[in-house]
Structure 1
């Protein structure tokens, strides 16, 4: 069906341009004819001014001579050239009418996805119904919270705000978080979530209001990685990439071991580094306790054959998988296992591991970098 529509559109455009090009020869005046008509009007105006006494006879004579010289100049420029210009213009129009649709179809065939089936209407209506259901639940939840004489429980407002974030209604999410800012139980994580909602509502810009939120979050907990990350983003946007780089790197170096959010920090650091002449960041060097083989194990693998080395690596992954069966609530462990399977090329097992991590991460704040890392990994695995 899409090719039929494209063909009809291309045909209509071609016929319209072709008709315009073919008819232009008889409908348009030549440059000389147009100029003659204009200059004839100007000479008539000169004669009228002379009759009314506005100009003298000498001035009228000079004006007529000037107009006639301009007309002669037009004659010299247009002799022999006009038919060729009109013909070439029509040829270009017709060529464009033919080649543009052809090139567009070729590009779509190479870069588009003509073989992907259209989404069933019933499925689209189902998604729309689900979205309306969530929106209705959010409205009812907000009504109950606002009607609560005590102001509504903090957990309820957080749930409402996070629901708005998932719906893409970032301004309303920020309003819901803002209700909680003056409460005694307002934690650093909550304040940084408020700041993140403000950033999202401004299309990624860290406004002064958002910056104040991240400053307060860091006052409550200087180790808050999300607040540090967005604080660095704000510094870069304000024209201080060096300060942003130092802030991120200092925060990473303060950790004794690996944390999943470090990958997001390292990616941001390595994006900033080339513009300020800094060296790329080696995540393994900054976080030496990233789970992995020991130095002795690495040395042992150097003496192994490729087959033995693969068996050794797989045995380590299997031991990690067995540990995860004993401790299925270890979010970081599932992420490590998913990464290990991806390195081995076992994409299905990697997707399953990251899927378990994603379920465990559902209750995390939107600012936790692990959520973005899991989503990115699943996207790379085609999930």
Structure 2
């Protein structure tokens, strides 16, 4: 009995603290879908590297997988940059009072409820008197049945998710029929089509956004990425032309510089790709989320060229660009 009371006291305190903690701690900015995507894509890149090192993926398949995940990571970073909210202040005093009431009141209420409706004086059942084999069999049976049903449930959830997305796409299509000049709406529709593997429809939607945007860099880059996707993750020349034009207009835009370097690598100009990526890292903020991706590409290119990546310096053009537009003026 004493042991039960001690255990209940500890559990009650733990539950009260768990409920009160969100009211006490400093509130941080809520995680966005883009934050989740960035984490997933980084994990996918690491998994690809492990599979390639273990021989599960050949060089061509590994490179194609890297390019697709890197494209998605860059897109997710752009989405996060556009939607990141400002962090909230710490919890106000009323919230702390509420936290104290919750921390104390929940365990107390649970104890009163157990005393009124439970069996606090029921003696323990000796371990020797229990049928452990029968209990283990019941537990194993429940676990096995749950495992057998996991796959159908997952399939049903995925099917429901796809239906929901198709319904959302249908609503967006109808909205754009009523407001065909919504550039961001066309971009969203294009991304939704890609998620549904409707690449031709995606390019049509991106094309309409591009026609309306009058050279807006992010729209141009999105359209060019669609061309890369349609080209089997090869940076085709029409996409490269768009990236060059974007770089002229917005020299700090990271995606265009990254893909231009990638085109050189795909064409066998590893040294040129290495220089482009070194310049991209040099002109970027140190904590920019794409920097680790680009550094990884630099390491691979340097290894291929059998040189020390630490010896690769930014070009004179990059140095002049930084001098003309330091970070505080961008």
- Normalising by structure 2, we get a TM-score of 0.45
Normalised by the length of structure 1, the TM-score is 0.39
Higher relative contact order (CA 8 A, sep 6+): 2
